[in-house]
Chain A
Amino acid sequence: MTPGTPVPGPDAVRDALRTHGYLADEGLATVVFLALELRRPLLLEGEAGVGKTEVAKVLSRWTGGELLRVQCYEGIDVSQAVYEWDYTRQLLHLRAAEARAAGTGGDVPAAVEDDLYSERFLVRRPLLAAIAAPAERPPPVLLIDEIDRADDEFEAFLLEVLSDYSVTVPELGTFSARVPPIVVITSNRTRDLHDALKRRCLYHWLDHPDFEREVAIVRLRAPSVGETLARQVAAAVERIRSMGLYKPPGVAETIDWAESVATLGRSALDETTVALTLGAAVKYREDADRIRDAGIGELTQEAVGRAG
């Protein structure tokens, strides 16, 4: 996709995402289309492992825009998300100017200060890089990952940036985006986000894919896995997700699991294989215990039956 090309509609988005390795359902395709068309940030909420982050990655592959990622964590601040000065180089530059001045017998010229706070010494972090991206390239894809982990001060700051797509560096002035970046914000919903931020964004709750879609995803992402195995693994995962685990397996785990079984040379699930490879899908001892208590034999039978 070249910049400025209008996207015809949700169906075209779905096809394009598919071409680049992501199977979106109608809901996701529609909101992605709207995000591109209305140039609004896209807020994706959902369980860990449903493929929220992957949406930004596939958008980057599709549009050719650079992927800029802000991984949020508690205490993230401007110097990690927006910009920072390269202090070490600044100090070196100052010392060099001083040495030159000493050689000529004068003072350090006042112009050195302007020098110090020029773009030369500016370290651009992802937010600034997204705002100050060159207009002739496709707009970058700005991924703000796990916003719920950041403090609410950062959330408020982000809201400000997303309202007018500009960032001010006090020493240099204001950078404004010539083309607004494509913004994808993800949240695991460990806390509620501010209404103001939600209002700014298009909201989409991303669920685990349904059975048929998950089978298709496994087939697409793990070509070595046969249709039968993919169906059985997807059915087993669907059953496991309904067991109320501490950490239910995500799509990535389904793919891993199917690949693990295929790597062992099996083309269908049986009880022994499930017991051996369960660790690819379930990552907590308590969860594995719960599945064993419920009976791996039953789980396998059910999965094979459901897969048809």
Chain B
Amino acid sequence: MSAPIEGAARGARGPHDEEGRTGASAPERLAVAFAFALRARGIAVAAGAPLRYAEALAAVGLEREGPVYWAGRATLLQDPDDIDGYDDVFHAFWRLGGSRVLRPFEVPRRIEVATDDGLEEDGVPAEEDSAGDARVLELRYSPTEILREKDFAECTPAELAEAQRLMSRIRLRGPRRPTRRRRPARRRGDWPDLRRTVRHALRAGGEPVRRSWLEEADRPRRIVFLCDVSGSMAPYSRALLRFVHVAVAARRSVEVFTIGTRLTRVTRALVAHDPDAALGRVAKLVPDWSGGTRLGEALREFNDLWGVRGLARGAIVVIFSDGWDRGDPAVLAREMARLSLVAHEVVWVNPLKATPGYAPLVRGMAAALPYVDQFMEGHSLASLESLAGVITGRGAPGAVADGRRGRIEVG
């Protein structure tokens, strides 16, 4: 096992190493080159991770393959989904001597700093402020009225663009749920706040004259979107994902998955302020865009890997799908049952529901319906506003608009 690794190490130093460094620099160069190869494979390797890998390599040595492999997994990977890709690259790089082919000495010195850092972007908790007051959607001129009701499938590209622009004005705040956390109460609350009581007592010469109180706090409830991106949903997928992007941009506790022939988690791809960039990243990530549908299977994958484990627990789960399922409807029914047991509410949005005379006869839709709390249409801007109302727990909005500056209460 040791031979290929020494080979790789030689390759890394290489004849073009003008600085002529040896020894200590070998792990460093190998680590950076290997990280470079992983990134080329599409694996997100954090800035700084190659340095930690170099440290780790220095600690475990390059003599045996096992530690080299495991040290890399521990320092360069952050997601078990990347393990398969890592294994491939590891094989090519360390065993087949790909490190020589990759000419690691030509790796750029500059390392780009990853910008999708959740902590920084979450700095401003958008949904925390001004909870409770009415949310306002502004419509600027009356052609919007027509557009609001128009089926996305019948929109021209220009209309679609305008509709999507208007969509970004929908505010998706709330719904909230109680937590165990307590916060200081202005008035008499339900629990004594001993910490503040002691503070006040000090000022009063030791007498606990003024008592402070705590009250119950609440937090936003998680929303999980499952978007069907199969061929039959193609006229709507982009518009619906745009709507989802609005939700992701507005609040923290949102998770998004696409379902087609398989399940893909796209939450991270959607975390970008520019909606077009976000959607572009999603399209790149989803392998089965406009393909077939196996709703039941995809839902089972969601339940097994994410939903039932905790992601959907107490959450509002919104499924965008027309219910066309090429799989076994019994599987879909069983998975919907599992989902409805853990979710706070299951909302099914079916763009076809708006078609006159529509009845949920598609086998998949019929199988799923008994487990759905809200069955809605989602074919137009207006229907998505209603959806926003349902999600935020304030019922369907009364859509009122008056010519130039209509105001619609959403939630």
A residues within 8 Å of B by Cβ?
A: 9-10, 26-27, 30-31, 33-34, 37-38, 40, 45, 73-75, 77, 79, 85, 87-88, 90-91, 94-95, 97-98, 107-108, 112-113, 116, 148-149, 151-152, 156, 159, 188-192, 194-196, 198-199, 202-205, 244, 246
Contact = CB atoms under 8 A, between A and B. Distances in A.
B276 to A, nearest CB: 23
A195 B197 contact: no
Nearest to A207: B80
B114 A195 contact: yes
Interface stretch (B227-235, B303-311, B351-359, B393-401): B303-311
B366 to A, nearest CB: 23
Given A156-B119, A159-B119, A77 B309 contact: no
Nearest to A34: B56
A203 B78 contact: yes
Contacts of A38: 52, 55-56, 59
Contacts of A74: 179-180
19 contacts: A26-B67, A27-B69, A30-B67, A30-B71, A45-B80, A85-B195, A91-B197, A116-B198, A151-B219, A188-B310, A189-B80, A190-B311, A195-B78, A195-B116, A195-B117, A198-B78, A199-B48, A199-B78, A202-B75
A183 to B, nearest CB: 14
Contacts of A30: 60, 66-67, 70-71, 74
Contacts of B61: 9
A152 B122 contact: yes
A9 B71 CA distance: 12
Q: What is the interface residue range for chain B against chain A?
A: 35 or more
Contact of B180 (A10, A45, A73): A73
B71 A34 contact: yes
A9 B118 contact: no
A89 to B, nearest CB: 10
A98 B205 contact: yes
B21 interface: no
A98 B202 CA distance: 11
Contacts of B362: none
Contacts of A204: 73-74
A191 B311 contact: yes
A27 B252 CA distance: 34
B245 interface: no
Interface in B251-301: 252, 255, 267-268, 300
Contacts of A37: 59
A90 B198 CA distance: 7
A84 B169 CA distance: 44
A202 B197 CA distance: 43
Nearest to A93: B206
Nearest to A99: B206
Contacts of B313: 190
Contacts of B311: 190-191
A73 B304 CA distance: 22
B98 interface: no
Residue of B71, B78, B252 most packed against chain A (CB within 10 A):
B78
Residue of B80, B116, B207, B304 most packed against chain A (CB within 10 A):
B80
B4 interface: no
A58 B367 CA distance: 49
